[in-house]
Structure 1
Amino acid sequence: MQPTAADKVSRPDADDESAPSSSGTSSPKSYLLVHNVSKKHNIGTLSRSCTAFGVTQVCIVGQNAYNTFGSHGAAEYVDIRHFWKLEDAAKYLKEDCQCDIVGVEIVEGALAVHKRPFKRNTAFILGNEGTGLSQKQIEICDYFVYISQYGPGTASLNVTVAASIVLHAFAVWAGMPERGREGQKFVVAERPVRQTTRRVCQDSPEDVAAARKERQAASLQDHSDDLGLGSIDLEDSASNE
């Protein structure tokens, strides 16, 4: 039997609203893991919320091209990293970034986000607006949060609104310094110089090499299957060249 969302909950103390210790350490960091979001323009509006609430990095899984419609230039300030596979993104966030991965979903055992049940660096993953979190997404989550509602007119919030609420809750809990204000606006930093192709995530050389190796292995295996030769070890194949 596959684990359910309730099975996956490794819950911190739901009553612990204490802020992280400020004894010489930096504030905990937030990340956003974007996988299978239903509307293409969500990346743009999500970027706007991410830069407003101090998100360290957005990890996009799947296609490396994205739409920044609705960002109003905010996407230029967001660090975006691409992964082809969800499990690779999860490994990076948990091992390299020392994150809890927190699913934002109305499931049994989920904790109210306004209680700020966070413990350390946290990566949030939101479900598809139509179908919620998939089984694969549930399996990588350490615990879940939900957004309390008080009116009768809607069953849930859309992805960008939900992201804004949870990212703001985390920023308050983490004690991130509030941005300066000028008049009726917050101060916007000078726009960074863009180093990559607009609206395309540039993979690292290591990721490119790994993806190339996987494609070579798949191609060799397909050819071997056509010839009835069975499985092929790419390392052995390379050593014999």
Structure 2
Amino acid sequence: MVVTKQIVGTLPQASAANASVEESAHAHRQSPRKAALASFLGSTLEYYDYVLYGTASALVFSRLFFDSNNPTMATIGALMTFGVAYIARPLGGLVMAHIGDRIGRKTALMITLMIMGISSIAIGLLPTYEQIGITATILLLVCRIAQGFSAGAESAGASTMTMEHSPEGKRGFFTSSVMLGCSAGNVLAALVMVPVMMMPEDAMMSWGWRIPFLLSALV
């Protein structure tokens, strides 16, 4: 009789333990998917901003942020500001990888998204060369360096976070979400710029070009 009571008494505890194990297993199954989704969305938003700058630098920035009296040098200068971000990318990866190791991948990812979003919005709010002269060019360059820093940090951090949460045998599959996000960001930037470039030139050059950058507030 005593033994029966002891067995019956342990049944609720056993049920609770089994439920806890099942919940843990379910959470473990969900974790790779959540990490992959977060990396995909982060990469999409990062590279939307990053590629958007490249499109604008080739089409409008030479006339907005450089001396229009020398179109050739203005075009070269605009493309150089695009290229300078690739110098900042390795630095972003090194710095934010260290921060990710110290305080967590999620926090590091959020910081990189904030850097990219703020710098892109700032580009959309910048005064032009006609308004403040060479200061506009310098401010544009600073924002572009921040974009490069953020893009380098995001690629390294998102890949590492996804890999760390992926199960054995499927790490390549889940980590591919980072590159899928990069490609989606490229396409999204192009789709947003198409209607802007179809605007009347006066409207596009005065305020239309700012719209895609201000949409970065979604980050």
State the TM-score, normalizing by the size of structure 2.
0.27
Higher relative contact order, chain-length normalized (CA < 8 Å, sep 6+): 2
Relative to its length, the structure with more helix (as a share) is 2
State the TM-score, normalizing by the size of structure 1.
0.25
Larger radius of gyration: 2
